[in-house]
Structure 1
Amino acid sequence: MKNWKLLSVIFALLVLLLAACGTEDEATEKASTDEKATEETSGAGDSSVYPLTIPQPEGYAEVTLEEKPETVVVFDYGFLDTLDYLGVDVAAVSQANVPSYLEKYEDEAAYKNAGALKEPDFEAIAAMNPDVIFISGRQADAYEELSKIAKTVYVGVDTMDYMNSFKANTELAGKIFGEEEKATAALEELDAKIEEMKEVTNGMDEKALVVLASEGELSAYGAGSRFGIIHDVYGFKQTDENLEVSTHGQSVAYEYVLEKNPDILFVVDRDAVVAAGGESGTKAAIENDIVNKTNAAQNDNIIYLDPEVWYLAGGGIESENAKVDAVLEALK
């Protein structure tokens, strides 16, 4: 009888022990599942957004990325600038005219050459088997062929809506590569600088003119144009509100500059980034007897804008900050 009672006690203890172990295992499994779910939604920062559908402008097909791209080809230097700032690895770029502040991408041992800006190396790109290719206006003619190789996303900045377009591209980069917080913080920092700029320009009566200089010839740009950010975003008043809005600007003569007589003349020196050896005679050509009669020249207000960030790589986080910083500095 005593033995039977002892066995009953032992059996009851075993049941309690097994029940406790089962509860602990379930709790451990639940914790593991919860931790995995947390990592998927916040750790990597990108799995929750996929599949990701990216709207495209007219003439380009909508793109859907099923997962975070690993092998990335970039033609647009502005978008490359943003990816570089966000710490995103890229596999290949166009190495023809890489801006000096992005010179690490010229290293062919580390990055493959995707060809010239207007003449992509389709064979080399196909051999990489990329997950995505980012392009802008300079690759428009190559879009159809590139889209046969991989998902091709247009990330050119819309000059008619510059800041919103640039911000959308920046936010897109953050979303694709799981760096949304960093992208948002960068945009907030830039907005603060632009507000500082507006505080200066809002109280100015001086009017400005923006010209692109190339081989001694001039093209003028107004609001809504390629360099219209000077007026549309920074707030500089225009000397000529009837300028033709086009990608290549309105061809003008030096006499036109004198006629409009800007108080501030902004100059983008194209020759400095496309001429062999970077040789440029723009400064000597601009500061001639005609232009020297303008208010801008006489008040030492001819401002030469860095062509790498204005002509080659506009629309990137680093380049847009460099633009604002330089103009603010020039106004002091």
Structure 2
Amino acid sequence: MSTTSTRASWSVAVLAAAGLAVTACASSPGATAPSDDASDPRVVTVANAQPTLVLVEQDGESSYREDAETPRGSVEVPYQPEAVVTFDIATLDTLDAIGAGDAVVGIPDIPLPDYLSDYADLPKVGTLFEPDFEAVAELEPDLIVVAARSTGQYDELSEISTTIDLTGTAGGTFDPSAGLERAEQLGEIFGAEDAVAERIAEIDELTAAIEDEVSGTALVLSVSGGEYGAFGEGSRFGYFFDELGFVPAVPATELPGAEGSSHGDTVTNEFLLTADPDWIIAFDRGAATGEGSSAEETLDNELVAETVAGKEGQIILLPASELYIVINGLTSIQNVLTTLHDAVSE
């Protein structure tokens, strides 16, 4: 199944405004740079994420629900903004990938993967969930980006500067199709359509190669503090089943606590042995959140070693920061898929 199949929902058009008259011009990779004439600024019209998602905390768990009462329409964004505050690390990832990272002036206080370490010293503007509104205002951004964890702060941030919501189809879900749509939006905003198209072509080729190699059953696990959280089809990490074609070793409805936690359904080593997957696809949530790495040590035990995955050396440790912190940036998607491709191609 191709990752390009759903990339058609974003409405993005480049507009040229002269005085009070606004006329549309075609959006294309050859779009020219904005005019030096301040009366003729070029802007990009961006459709905010739909539907609006709201982060809900209940019984210590975070989840997203649709908010039908808070529709968000399109926003006119300055073409090639020079001062961007992003609460979305996937946006930072993608801007870095397309050569527009210098525009980012502020990010939340969050551990970054090594490939984004050049941005670690940027001014901090709060956390992924709670902006420091004064810090944001002091940076005088001409664009603010929210998504998923920060979507609930959209209205207040919009009072500071132009704000767009780039939440994917479901907050916190590894969804390359949504990430590639978002990259196309950012490419329009920054006049980097060609760079985006090149990276998307690479990802599509990589995805097709994985689909050709995938066979057998799998369990997808988050590992943290010596414990496992299992994810089934239709979950935030259901992509590996729903799109790539791995067969669930245990159907989602049969996972313990099948109502589903945002960190996965808690399972044990005994459960892994009984499920006996051909593949174990895991990521180290503890390492991603800066709590120390434990996945490799946790999985190194006699029970896991007796599974088909253990016997055949088919335990895949995916890059944790890319899956859990960045989620759907161009480079994070490519890193996750490259790791997976290398494993299934051996």
Give TM class, smaller chain.
0.7 to 0.9
Distance, in Å, in 2 between the alignment partners of 1:116 and 1:149 is: 17
Give the 5 Å matches for 1:119-134: 119-134=130-145
State which drifts further: 176-185 or 41-50.
41-50
Match among 163, 181, 184 for residue 171 of structure 1? 184
Give the match for residue 281 of structure 2: 266
Give the match for residue 200 of structure 1: 213
Match among 82, 87, 93 for residue 70 of structure 1? 82
CA contact (8 A) 2:233 2:241 kept: yes
Structure 2 SS opposite 1:112: coil
**2:234 is the alignment partner of 1:224:** yes
Flag the structure with larger Rg.
1
Distance, in Å, in 1 between the alignment partners of 2:205 and 2:218 is: 23
Give the 5 Å matches for 1:99-118: 99-107=113-121, 111-118=122-129
Distance, in Å, in 1 between the alignment partners of 2:42 and 2:197 is: 16
**How far did 1:240 drift?**
2.0
Report the structure, 1 or 2, having the larger strand content: 2
Give the match for residue 281 of structure 1: 294
Alignment CA distance shift 1:330-1:148 (3 Å): same
Match among 94, 97, 122 for residue 82 of structure 1? 94
TM-score normalised per structure 1? 0.78
Give the aligned CA root-mean-square deviation in angstroms: 2.7
For this pair of structures, how many residues does the alignment match? 287
Match among 43, 50, 75 for residue 32 of structure 2? 43
Give the 5 Å matches for 1:1-332: 42-44=31-33, 50-59=43-52, 61-68=72-79, 69-88=81-100, 89-107=103-121, 111-158=122-169, 162-201=175-214, 204=215, 206-243=216-253, 244=258, 247-276=262-291, 279-331=292-344, 332=346
Structure 2 SS opposite 1:290: helix
CA contact (8 A) 1:63 1:152 kept: no
CA contact (8 A) 2:174 2:237 kept: no
Runs of 4+ in 1 over 6 A off after TM superposition: 45-49
Distance, in Å, in 1 between the alignment partners of 2:31 and 2:50 is: 31
Alignment CA distance shift 1:128-1:263 (3 Å): same
Structure 2 SS opposite 1:149: coil
Q: Which amino acid aligns with 1:237?
A: V
Distance, in Å, in 1 between the alignment partners of 2:93 and 2:46 is: 23
TM-score normalised per structure 2? 0.75
Alignment CA distance shift 1:295-1:72 (3 Å): same
Distance, in Å, in 2 between the alignment partners of 1:187 and 1:45 is: 26
Percent identical among aligned pairs is 30
CA contact (8 A) 1:114 1:124 kept: yes
Q: Which amino acid aligns with 1:219?
A: G
Structure 1: 5+ residue runs without aligned partners? 1-40
